[in-house]
Structure 1
Amino acid sequence: METQQTTFDFENTYVKLPARFHARVNPTPVAAPRLIKVNEELARFLGLDPAALSTEEGVQVLAGNRIAAGSEPLALAYAGHQFGHFVPQLGDGRANLLGELRGEDGHLYDVQLKGSGPTPFSRRGDGRAALGPVLREYILSEAMHALGVPTTRALAAVETGERVVRERYLPGGVFTRVAASHLRVGTFQYFAALEDKEGLRTLANYAIAQHYPEVAKEAKPYRALLDGVIGRQARLIAQWMSLGFIHGVMNTDNSSISGETIDYGPCAFMEAFDPNQVFSSIDARGRYAYNNQPHAAHWNLTRLAEALLPLLTEEEGSEEAGVLAAQEALAVFATEFEAARDAGLQSKLGLFTEQEGDAALAQDLLDRMAANNADFTLTFRRLCEAAASPAGDSEVRLLFADPASFDVWASAWHKRLDRESGSAAERAAAMRRVNPIFIPRNHLVEAVIQAAMERQDFRPFEELLDATSRPYEDRPELVRFTVPARPEEQVQQTFCGT
């Protein structure tokens, strides 16, 4: 494979870890790569020239046909619980970590090709990605970033000129993903399952140095690492819930140590609110339903605590004390999640001073939304206008099957708002900053994928990216992106795309 001369200034810290942490493997070239999109803003943030990435030479790198100067590609080793069943070796079966770039904020970011061909972890898979999942992950991850949620991001998408075989032949694609980290709960499980204590220690020290440097000098850094991951995950899940987002496949190998949303497979944003909503085609029992996401996260973090137990035991002086330390850390998850969730809901309702009964008021609204099939995003967005003036209630109540049910709640809400300081206009403006009007609705994402795969039409992709890039701004010319799916447009199931 040819190495081209454009330097990406990769720092390659992960490749310096022992050989058992990864497999050194290059991407597999594709037949006829064609650029779909380069994220110019993210490229500049990483010190890259978007124009250079868009040249033929740049596209060859983004497709995996050439190795950029300074890159040392590898596939990470990890394990994981998949729907509760432990698999001792998973790893990057269709991805190559090209290296790490330092962003404008001074932090290192992984640059990874996804769909770049088989690796030693492919388990008889082809290592490729279909174009549809590439476009889905690009749209969803960038929408989440714009919404203010910690997430992996999209640097580029490339069409390969080849077909991949899934249920049928599909056009192939390669996705360039950027993340603060690709370390997962499953990465720690991998070394714990091997009873490789030194590997576990090396991994924990690396995670601390890269993502939690503030705990390095603490007396018990491994306990502090566990505390840090628990806190970030609690806040992340609360943000998901506040936006009606369902990840769909919260396996431990999809649970990021850095607290980012990672692996956008069968994920979706709800329209009609249903706390038991499931979209994933493979989640038959609702393990990762909307309302189960906090429980799933806690379960995953318990697996992390188990993996770290040899190090916690060493820190605490005995296995009994190590188990107690893990239990104490895990017990905080519920408190941190509930605090973040309640604060988020209060902000969405325009309640900026905490008062008794606020959590019950928010839950009452959610219960009424669920009973009346009210659209999650539109309900909260229209409440912004209702907060400015009770006359705005009329637009919210139209979203409820029984408008009188909303009226009962709205009466209590307006009385509560009367106890807030500040003007109604200021309150409404603050609410608009936390209640989006644009989300990547499932039927819109599906329309993007179909247009691209069936007609090579990427205009819908660009239009949806534009709409969701400024999710909190009123843009009347884009009102079509705010409309819920008609019955015949509804997407009932989403798929992993592996």
Structure 2
Amino acid sequence: MSNHSASCWTSLPTLQLQSHFAQLPGHLYTRMEPTPLPDPRLVSANVKVAEQLGIDPCSLQPDLLASLMGGHELPEQAAPLAMKYAGHQFGVYNPQLGDGRGLLLGELAVPQADGSEQLWDLHLKGAGQTPYSRMGDGRAVLRSSLREYLIGEALTYLNIPSTRALALCVNSQQVVRERLEPGATIIRVSRSHVRFGHFEHLYYSRQHDDLKVLADYCLERWYPQCRDAEKPYLAMFKAISQASAHTVAGWIAYGFLHGVMNTDNMSILGETFDHGPFAFIDRWKENAVYNHTDREGRYAFDKQPDVMHWNLSALAQALTPIIDVEDLKAELENFPDYYQQAYLKRMRERLGLAFEDEGDSELLRRWRALLNMNEVDFNPLYRALAEGQSEQDGQPVIDRAALQAFRDQLGEPSQSLWLDSWLKDYEARLTLESRNAAKRQAAMLAVNPVYILRTRVTDQLISEAEKGNFQPVQDWLQVLQNPFEQHHGIADELRWAPDSKQLTMLSCSS
């Protein structure tokens, strides 16, 4: 929901951008214009994001958006730039990174209800070659752009922080990836495009004075609450750590696999950032890997909390010129607790547990082990658990009939483990709750989605969009922005995992 009234809205033709990042030291970016694209056509505009940005949705005229996203006509006072950063890729430091196919167009000041303004970055992805393209063509394809456009909404409406996109546009340029594909662009929207890798670049290139300048910029713009702390930079690092823990806890709770958690893909706001070979895992599989280049499983699903901790240690190393090493070490030791608290909170919500109990960690461990042992299609299972909430003689009971479809998937000994052990312990745990079954059910249905963005869905949408049929993209945009409701016209089979348990391998250009 937007935080301002329609009377404050601006329109797309009169959009005025500011250039705050361009006030930082010049070696952190390169000013340049996008390379215009032929025949840009609008695939979809995101009304919800427009409202968040204070843009009148009625002003999102397809021709104007296409001209903007094709690099032909930029907003007033736009000063496009490609950011320079570095980062650890699969654990190895790479200094030769930066915006290789995207340009920060500028920042949009959005009025808030309290009279203040909030700055939002507008970033054109697929804008052409930059000095940081590393032999790449600087373009994006419809396949990856469509996936990023939709996953931002899927995560946001599951209350998992993520960048989003204002619009998706296709063009007539053919781009070579695994095959010849139609080119595309999105306007990525975030409050910040600063990555862990920005600080790593300044640290390893020994530009420590400018590292402090960047840290001050981040404090002022995104972490003003830390400025009055006894140790402001340490307080900011703590806030980044907590935000990152919150996000990765959401990933694990809902079965999201980022796929390529390099430090240059980590946002200082803890947002899900640079969506590439991502997936919502169809069936619970702790060691699931969808990125075909991740041969050693560094970024496997269950390793994501540990990888986030490692990435924060890389950021901490980069901050040693301005934060005491012992303070950083002590703060890093807190991350597992931040993560565990955030994870337990998300899982309690999914299972309808309003109160904390010391036995919850073990109950959840056994739950995950059961899901993993049987590679269960778990997201619909949560809905079934919600629908099965009932009472008998004043005691919580799970209606077994609601779970019959899942019971049939389980062979022995899983049926015994499921029915005779875990489910009975879950019912016993529910006796500690004060809410009745109806209230608990309502709360569970509000956090357990009917639909998730499965790979089978994106594959189908990509196929249709490449044929010029964009309506399914718009239909699924509405679904993902209302994932807890049943939607007419959406094939029921898309709620479920494919019959095959074979993982679909994806590439970074996915």
**TM-score category, normalised to shorter length:** over 0.9
The residue aligned with 1:24 is 31
The residue aligned with 1:197 is 208
Q: CA deviation at 1:400?
A: 3.2
Q: CA deviation at 1:58?
A: 3.2
Query: 2 CA distance for matches of 1:225 and 1:264?
Result: 25
Over residues 274-305 of structure 1, what are the superposed CA-to-partner deviations in whole Å (9 max), with x where a residue is unaligned? 11111111111111111100111011000110
Whether the aligned pair in 2 keeps the contact of 1:373 and 1:400 (CA below 8 Å) is no
DSSP-derived class of the 1:170 partner: strand
1:48-447 to 2 correspondence within 5 Å?
Answer: 48-105=55-112, 106-312=117-323, 322-388=324-390, 389-391=397-399, 392-401=402-411, 402-407=414-419, 408-447=421-460
Over residues 340-399 of structure 1, what are the superposed CA-to-partner deviations in whole Å (9 max), with x where a residue is unaligned? 111211221112111221111111111011111211211222111122352234344244
Which runs of 5 or more residues in structure 1 are unaligned?
313-321
The residue aligned with 2:8 is none
Amino acid at match of 1:342: L
Whether the aligned pair in 1 keeps the contact of 2:38 and 2:70 (CA below 8 Å) is no
Query: 1 CA distance for matches of 2:410 and 2:198?
Result: 45
Pick from 459, 478, 496 the counterpart of residue 471 of structure 2. 459
Whether the aligned pair in 2 keeps the contact of 1:246 and 1:267 (CA below 8 Å) is yes
Percent of matched pairs sharing the same residue: 37
State the TM-score, normalizing by the size of structure 2: 0.91
Distance 1:211 1:240, change over 3 A: same
Q: CA deviation at 1:234?
A: 0.8
Whether the aligned pair in 2 keeps the contact of 1:436 and 1:472 (CA below 8 Å) is yes
Query: 2 CA distance for matches of 1:53 and 1:384?
Result: 39
Whether the aligned pair in 2 keeps the contact of 1:45 and 1:104 (CA below 8 Å) is no
How many residue pairs align between the two structures?
A: 483
Amino acid at match of 2:342: A
Q: CA deviation at 1:419?
A: 2.2
Over residues 209-266 of structure 1, what are the superposed CA-to-partner deviations in whole Å (9 max), with x where a residue is unaligned? 1111111122311111111111110111101111000000000000100111111100
DSSP-derived class of the 1:287 partner: coil
DSSP-derived class of the 2:183 partner: strand
Over residues 382-422 of structure 1, what are the superposed CA-to-partner deviations in whole Å (9 max), with x where a residue is unaligned? 11112235223434424434433321211111111122112
Q: More displaced, 345-354 or 474-483?
A: 474-483
State the TM-score, normalizing by the size of structure 1: 0.93
Which runs of 5 or more residues in structure 2 are unaligned?
1-11, 391-396
Q: CA deviation at 1:55?
A: 4.1
Distance 1:41 1:347, change over 3 A: closer
Query: 2 CA distance for matches of 1:400 and 1:442?
Result: 24
DSSP-derived class of the 2:128 partner: coil
Query: 2 CA distance for matches of 1:427 and 1:224?
Result: 37
Whether the aligned pair in 2 keeps the contact of 1:64 and 1:116 (CA below 8 Å) is yes
Amino acid at match of 1:268: A
The residue aligned with 1:35 is 42
Query: 2 CA distance for matches of 1:17 and 1:75?
Result: 13
The residue aligned with 2:18 is 11
Query: 2 CA distance for matches of 1:50 and 1:382?
Result: 37
Q: CA deviation at 1:125?
A: 0.9
Q: More displaced, 268-277 or 385-394?
A: 385-394
Distance 1:466 1:403, change over 3 A: farther
DSSP-derived class of the 1:181 partner: coil
Query: 2 CA distance for matches of 1:119 and 1:137?
Result: 21
Query: 2 CA distance for matches of 1:476 and 1:166?
Result: 35
Query: 2 CA distance for matches of 1:405 and 1:231?
Result: 35
DSSP-derived class of the 1:78 partner: strand
DSSP-derived class of the 2:290 partner: coil
Amino acid at match of 2:186: F
Q: Does 1:483 align with 2:485?
A: no
